[in-house]
Amino acid sequence: MAPKAFIQYKDLIFQKLKKAFAQENQILQAAQMIAESLGKGGWIYISGTGHSHMFAEEIFYRAGGFARVIPILDSALMLHESASKSTEIERKEGYAAEIMKPYTLTENDIFIIASNSGRNAVSIELALHANSKGAKTICITNLAHSNSVESRHSSNKKLFQIADLFLDNCGEIGDAGISIPGLSLKVGATSTVIGVAILQAIMVQAATILVEYGIRPEVFNSSNSNEGEEENDALLAKYKPMVKIL
């Protein structure tokens, strides 16, 4: 008798997490890039379209997360206004330039871009924009999926081919991973749970590197703990004028 579907999903995710975390060199390299950026007073920019926008929220204003994070949360590319419209817009060339008008990237900054397929214009052009400003780019993508499709950008490039460093979320082609008898399509998305685990692992390692450098990283405490308010208030007073959505 086959295991219950939820057990199959758990086993699949554990298997893929093990494979994703075998990218030790890439995780360490990404952490080093971020630590060096923050050590120079740089910022972590982070974006994702569709469901991948959750990566930007994952490390922004988060307990245990760095304070110097700027998420690119464009409503039209998220899901809460029109999910289907966001699919159209993420394919639109030139839109990334509009998104980035309020921001000034420098060579001290890092831009993390999450895109499961890595084929759509907005994510590709965000990476190109960051590169043009001298900022280092890191992408989290599904390499198997990306290699199975054509680029939707006029460069014919995909995100992993443009970023300075990419990490594979080791997800399924098409994202969903579980087959159920009687259902023609798979269920159970894989990209977010694995990708976010990689992302947080990078942040943890970057914090460790900063401490080893003798730099105390600015990190948010839990606003729901008894001790968190005072430390967070100081960080908010410092950074809210620079990050308006704090």
Residue 8 maps to a domain: no
What is the number of domains present in the chain?
Answer: 1
Q: How far apart are CA 216 and CA 21, in angstroms?
A: 26
Q: How far apart are CA 63 and CA 42, in angstroms?
A: 20
- Span 63-76, pLDDT tens digits: 999 999 999 998 87
Coil, strand or helix at 112: strand
pTM of structure: 0.95
CATH number at residue 194: 3.40.50.10490
Residue 30 maps to a domain: yes
Buried b (16+ CB within 10 A) or exposed e, 80-98: eeeeeebeebbebeebbee
- Span 203-222, pLDDT tens digits: 999 999 999 999 999 999 98
Q: How far apart are CA 191 and CA 170, in angstroms?
A: 8
CA nearest neighbour of 224 among 85, 63, 35, 114:
63
Residue 2 maps to a domain: no
Residue 7 maps to a domain: no
Residue 3 maps to a domain: no
- Span 82-117, pLDDT tens digits: 888 888 879 889 999 999 999 999 999 999 999 999
Q: Average pLDDT, whole number, for the chain?
A: 94
Residue 160 maps to a domain: yes
Burial of 143 (0-12, 13-18, 19+ CB in 10 A): middle
For the chain, the residue count is 246
Helices (H), the chain: 5-21, 24-39, 53-58, 83-89, 95-99, 121-132, 143-148, 159-162, 191-212, 228-239
Provide the domain limits for residue 160: 19-217+226-239
Q: What is the DSSP letter of 86?
A: H
